Every structure is written in structure tokens, then in C-alpha cells.
Structure 1
Amino acid sequence: MEIIGYVFVIIAFARLLAEGFERLGYPGFLGEITAGMILSAILIDMPRDQMALLAELGLFFLMISAGLEVTPEELHYAGKRTLPLYILTYGVMFLVTIPFTGWIISSDNIISAAILSTASAPIVLRLKRFFGSDFLHVALSYAVISEIFGLFLVYMVIRFHESPGDYGPILSSVLKDLVFVGTLLYINYLLGIKQKVRIIRFLRRLRSDEAVFGLFMVFSTSLAFISEEIGMHFSIGGFLAGLMMHSDLVGTKQYDRLTTIVSGVTYGIFAPIFFAWRGLNFETELSLVVIEFFAIIYTVRLALSALAVRKEGIPTSLVRGAGIASFGVLGLLMGEIGFVSGVLSEHMYAMASLASVLGIFASATLGRAVNHHQKKRASSAA
């Protein structure tokens, strides 16, 4: 009952602030993070291990939802544009962090660059009406690729830290990861060609939405378990499960049934806990150096992104760039994993964490400013 009480308080307060942020024109998850920051000073005796488990479930469901947003074909098509952009962004962020680590290249730079190169899928969806339908899949693809590669880089650094000089197990683990992902995508391709009709007919025979959801949860948790066992983050297995359950494979009706339940469970229960938990564990420091760090990082990244995805008109190019340069909550998780594992210093963890949160606010604010400007111009023209 103690756990249930804490869960109730966190969800209720997180959703209350989320509604307030939505009314101000910001994504609700920013309110949920803020709720966590406020509650961190109040819920001092909270059972952290149990709440951490619920937050992990929140991440799992969020990655499933991200996978359901795109199809393998869209990810493949958009990845041709976004993967080079991600590599370029990561390289630039790596170089920009060097002056802040005393001109010494270390794991701090590798992980900080991974954190600072991510994009926020919720911000991308919030700004999608400025993008055009053709660019939405590109922006979502960047968000997905940046999150997966960011987690992968963090775990690679941790493995090198745990077994310095012994590269055999690390190469073996990377090979397992590639085989696992490649096999799943190939199976998905074969099923889409030969077994699609049978799968749709089978799912149609199921009488309830709960049965469809139950089968999907068995499938997604199995992939999550396998991905964790071979050295990947368990959430990547959840993302791959969502990626494979696209409407072309399971049928539009079954896809709608599935996404409705997953969305309700994710954003009604587990996502508020996950975002609030990130706020509860938020670590930062306020100083001139931290503000300078964020100002440089965001300016460089916004300019780079806007130039890379530019379209006619400065406002559209800026909003597209803001969508790509929206950082992301998953960056807070990467920083926490790196800090706890001893491969990210407390100073860089604090600076990268604050940059992630401020970057989300900055991109959302830029989108609101452009929206206000366009409305003002439209009313003047009328």
C-alpha cells in the first residue's frame, strides 16, 4: 500500500503539471519532469528500488510506442538521410565538449556527445505541422536512431571500462547485437511477403482487444529479454517489437486496436512515472560555465540541424532544425547510466543533464514563437 500511495501521488501530480504545460503550449512530459524535480524534495523516504522498476517499465512502453510510430520501410528510407546527419552531429558535439573537459579526450566526451546528439520524439510530434508529412518520418527516424545509437555507445564505453584491453568479449557482443537485429528485420521482411494474410486472419479471430495486447506483450517482453541477455538495453527489444507490428503486417484494424491500448497504458500510467523519475533523479549545477556550455551547444546544434534540413523560408528551416535539435529525456537516462557506472564524471553528467532539459524547452519555445509569428502574419495579410 505504501508503494501504491507513492505511485498515486506521482501520477496525480505529474499529470496535473502536464496539463498545465499543455495549456501553455508545451509538451506534457516537461510538466511531468518538473513534477519529479519538485517531488524530489518532498518524497524523501520513497522506496526507490520499486519506483525505479516502474520507471524502467515506463521506458519499455515508451520505446514500444516509438517503434509503433514508424515502419521498417520508413526507417530504412529516412535513415539514408538521418544516419549521416546523426554521425555529423555526434562528431560536432564531441569536438564542442573537448574544451569543457580540460582539452582531454576521455569517456566524458564520448558519452556527453551521445547525450547531446539525441532528439526528442514528443517534441518532433509537437512540431510536425511545421515539417510537412514528408519530413515527419525523417525527424522521427533521427530521434529513434539517436536514442538507439546513444544507448549503444554508452554500453560500449561501459564494456571497455569493465574489461580494459580485452576486446574479444566486446567484439563478440557487438556481433551478437548485429545478428539479433538483422535476423529480426529479415524475419519481418519474410513474414510481410509470405505470411501477412495468415497473421491478419489469425488476429481477426481473437475476440477481445486484450488478447491482441497480451500476445504482443509476450512477443515484446521476449525480445526485451533477449536484447538484455546479449548485452543490449532491454528497451531496444521493446522498440524492435513495436517496429515489427506495423499496420502492413497485422492489418489496420488490429494495429489500431493495439496502438489504442498501448497508448493508454503508456501515457496514462507508466510514462508519467518514467518522466517524473527522471526529474526525481535530476542532477545539475548552476554556474556561468554551465550556462555557457548550454548556449554554445544549442546554438551550434540548431545551426547545424537547420542547415542540414533547410527548406525554403527561414521559419520552416528553423523549426525543422529545432525538431532535430530537441535533445531528449533519454539523454538523462544515458547520463545516469554512465554516471552510476563510473564512466561519466559528475561535472559532465550535471552539465549534459541540464543541457538536455533546457534544449527541450528551447526547441518547444522556438516552435511556439514561429507559430505565433505565422499566425500574426496570416492575420495581417487577411
Structure 2
Amino acid sequence: MEIIGYVFVIIAFARLLAEVFERLGYPGFLGEITAGMILSAVLVGMPRDQLELMAELGLFFLMISAGLEVTPEELHYAGKTTLPLYGITYAVMFATTLPFTGWSAGSDNVISAAILSIASAPIVLRLKRFFGEDFLHVALSYAVISEVMGLFIVYMVVRFHESPGNYAPILWDIFKDAAFIGGILYVNYLIGIRHKVMLIRFLRRLRSDEAVFGLFMILSTSLAFISEEIGMHFTIGGFLAGLLMHSDLLGTKQYDRLTTIISGVTYGIFAPIFFAWRGLNFETELSFVVVEFFVVIYTVRLLLSALAVRRDSLSKSLVRGAGIASFGVLGLLMGEIGFVSGVLSEHMYAMSSLASVLGIFASATVGRLVNYWSPKKASGAP
């Protein structure tokens, strides 16, 4: 009952602030993070282990939702543009962090660059009305690739830290990861060619939405278990499960049934707990160096992204750049993993965490300013 009480308070307060932020024109999850920051000073005796498990379930469902937003074909097509862009962004972020680590390259720079190179899928979806559906899949593809690559980089650094000089197990883990992901995508390809109609007919025979959801959860938890066993983060399995269950494979009706339930469970229960938990564990420091770090990082990244995805219109180029340069809440988790594992210093953990949160605010603000300015400009208002 104690745990249920804490969960109720967290969800209720998180959703309240989420509604406030939505009315102000910002994504609701920023309100949920803020709720966690406020509750961290109030709920001092909470059962942290149990709530952390709930938060991890929230991340699991969020990664499933991210997978459901794109298809393997879209990811492959858009990846031709976004994967090189991610590589360039990561290299620039790595170089930009060097002045803040005394010009010495190390794990601080590797992990901080991974945190500062990701994009936020919720921000991308919020800004889509400004840059259009034609760019949405590219921006979502970047968000997905950057999150998966960021988790991969952090776990690789942790592995190198735990077994220095012994690279054979690490190379074997990388091979297993690549074989697992490649095998899953190949199976998806085969099913889509040979057994698509059979799968759709089978799902149509199911009488309830709960049955569809139950079968999907068996698949997603199985892939999550395998992901964890071969050394990847368990949420990668959830993402792959969502990636496989696209509308082309399931049929539009079954896909809508599945996404409706997943969305309700994710954003109604688990996502608020995850975002609030990130706020509860948010650690930073306020100083001139921290503010300077964010200003430099965000300016460089926004300009780089806007140039890489530029259009004739300056406003559309800025909004596209803001979508790509929206950082992400997952960066807080990556920073926490690196800090707890001893491969990310407390100073860089604090600065990267604050930059992640402020970057989300900044990108959402860019979208709001463009939305405010464009109608006035179009109407010729002074």
C-alpha cells in the first residue's frame, strides 16, 4: 500500500504539471520531469528500488512506442541521411566538449557527446506541423538512431572500463548484438514477403484487443530478455518489437488496435513515472561554466542541424534544426548509467544532464517562436 500511495502521488502530480505545460505550449513530459524535481524534496522516504523498477518499465514502453512510430523500410530509407548526420553531430559534440575537460580526450567526452547528440522523439512529433510530414520520418529516424547508438556507446565504454585490456569478450558481444539485430530484421523481411497475409488473418480472428496486446507483450518481453542476455540494454528489445509491428505487416486495423492500447498504458501510467523519476534523480550544478556549456553546445548543434537539413525558408530550416537538436530525456538515463559505472565524472554528468533538459526547452521554444512569427509575417503585420 505504501508503494501504491507513492505511485499515485507521482502520477497525479506529474499529470497535473504535464497539463500545465501543455497549456503553455510545451510538451507534457517536461512538466512530468519538473514534478519529479519538486517531489524529490518532499518524498524523502520513498521506496526507491520499487519505484526504479516502475521507471524502467516506463522506459521499456516508451522505446516500444518509438519503434511503433517508424517502419524498418522508413528507418532504412531515412537512415541514409540521418546516420551520416548523426556521425557528424557526434564528432562535433565530442570536439565541442574538449575545452570543458581541459582539452584532454577521455570517457567524459565519449559519453557526453553521446548524450548531447540525441534527439527527442516527442519534440519531433510536436514540431511536425511546422516542418511537414515529408521530414517527419527523417527526424524520427534520427531520434531513434541517436537513442540506440547513444545507449550502445555508453554500454561499450562501461564494458571497456570493466575489463581493460581484454577486448575479445567485447568484440564477441558486438558480434552477438549485430547478429541479433540483423536476424530480427531479416525475419521481418521474410514474414513480410511470405507470411504477411497469414499473420493478418490470424490477428483478425482474435476477439479482443487484450489478446493482441498479450501476444505483443510476449514478443516484446522475449526480445527484451534476449537483448539483456547478450549485453545490450533490455529496452532495445522493446524497440525492435515495436519496429516489427508496423501497419504494413499487421494491417491497419490491427495496428490501430495495438497502438491504442500501448499508448494508453505508456502515457497514462508508466511514462509519467519514468519522466518523474528522471526528475527525482536529476543532479546538476548552477554556475557560469554550466550555463556557458549549454549555450555553446546548443548554439553549435542548432546551427549544424539547421545547415544539414536546410530548406529555402529560414524558419523551416530553423524548426527542422530544432527538431534534430532537441536532445532528449534518454540522455539523463545515459548520464546516470555512466556516472554510476564510474566512466563519467560528476561535473560532466551534471553539465550534460542540465544541457539535455534545457535543450528540450530551447527546441520547443524555437518551434513556438516560429509559429508565432510566421503568421504575422505572412499577414504583413508590423
Q: What is the TM-score normalised by the length of structure 1?
A: 0.99
Alignment of 1:352 onto 2:352: yes
State the Cα distance separating 1:378 from its structure 2 match. 3.4
> What does residue 234 of structure 1 align with?
234
Residues 33-112 of structure 1 aligned to structure 2 (within 5 Å): 33-112=33-112
How many residue pairs were aligned? 382
State the Cα distance separating 1:380 from its structure 2 match. 3.5
> What does residue 145 of structure 1 align with?
145
- Please give the alpha-carbon distance, in whole angstroms, between the structure 1 residues aligned to 2:287 and 2:307: 31
The one-letter amino acid of 1:44's match is V
- Please give the alpha-carbon distance, in whole angstroms, between the structure 2 residues aligned to 1:49 and 1:101: 33
Structure 2: give runs of 5+ residues left out of the alignment: none
> What does residue 9 of structure 2 align with?
9
The one-letter amino acid of 1:69's match is E
Q: Deviations over 1:33-64 (max 9, x none)?
A: 00000000000000000000000000000000
The one-letter amino acid of 1:236's match is I
The one-letter amino acid of 1:238's match is G
- Please give the alpha-carbon distance, in whole angstroms, between the structure 2 residues aligned to 1:314 and 1:167: 47
Name the SS of the counterpart of 2:380 in structure 1.
helix
Residues 171-320 of structure 1 aligned to structure 2 (within 5 Å): 171-320=171-320
- Please give the alpha-carbon distance, in whole angstroms, between the structure 2 residues aligned to 1:322 and 1:248: 30
Residues 303-382 of structure 1 aligned to structure 2 (within 5 Å): 303-380=303-380
The one-letter amino acid of 1:283's match is E
The one-letter amino acid of 1:160's match is F
The one-letter amino acid of 1:86's match is Y
- Please give the alpha-carbon distance, in whole angstroms, between the structure 1 residues aligned to 2:131 and 2:344: 35
- Please give the alpha-carbon distance, in whole angstroms, between the structure 1 residues aligned to 2:132 and 2:23: 24
- Please give the alpha-carbon distance, in whole angstroms, between the structure 1 residues aligned to 2:52 and 2:375: 43
Moved more, 319-328 or 369-378: 369-378
- Please give the alpha-carbon distance, in whole angstroms, between the structure 2 residues aligned to 1:113 and 1:287: 21
- Please give the alpha-carbon distance, in whole angstroms, between the structure 1 residues aligned to 2:46 and 2:380: 54
- Please give the alpha-carbon distance, in whole angstroms, between the structure 1 residues aligned to 2:132 and 2:205: 38
The one-letter amino acid of 2:50's match is Q
- Please give the alpha-carbon distance, in whole angstroms, between the structure 2 residues aligned to 1:200 and 1:87: 38
State the Cα distance separating 1:82 from its structure 2 match. 0.2
Q: What is the TM-score normalised by the length of structure 2?
A: 0.99
State the Cα distance separating 1:375 from its structure 2 match. 2.0
- Please give the alpha-carbon distance, in whole angstroms, between the structure 2 residues aligned to 1:49 and 1:133: 41
Q: Deviations over 1:82-114 (max 9, x none)?
A: 000000000000001011011111100000000
Name the SS of the counterpart of 2:104 in structure 1.
coil
The one-letter amino acid of 1:349's match is Y
- Please give the alpha-carbon distance, in whole angstroms, between the structure 2 residues aligned to 1:134 and 1:236: 26
- Please give the alpha-carbon distance, in whole angstroms, between the structure 1 residues aligned to 2:316 and 2:202: 45
Q: Deviations over 1:100-136 (max 9, x none)?
A: 0111111000000000000000000000011121110
Which of structure 1's runs of 4+ aligned residues deviate more than 4 A? none
> What does residue 168 of structure 1 align with?
168
- Please give the alpha-carbon distance, in whole angstroms, between the structure 1 residues aligned to 2:317 and 2:376: 19
State the Cα distance separating 1:376 from its structure 2 match. 1.6
State the Cα distance separating 1:379 from its structure 2 match. 3.8
Name the SS of the counterpart of 1:46 in structure 2.
coil
The one-letter amino acid of 2:305's match is S
- Please give the alpha-carbon distance, in whole angstroms, between the structure 1 residues aligned to 2:353 and 2:375: 34
Name the SS of the counterpart of 2:25 in structure 1.
coil
Name the SS of the counterpart of 1:32 in structure 2.
helix
- Please give the alpha-carbon distance, in whole angstroms, between the structure 1 residues aligned to 2:282 and 2:354: 8
Moved more, 154-163 or 97-106: 97-106
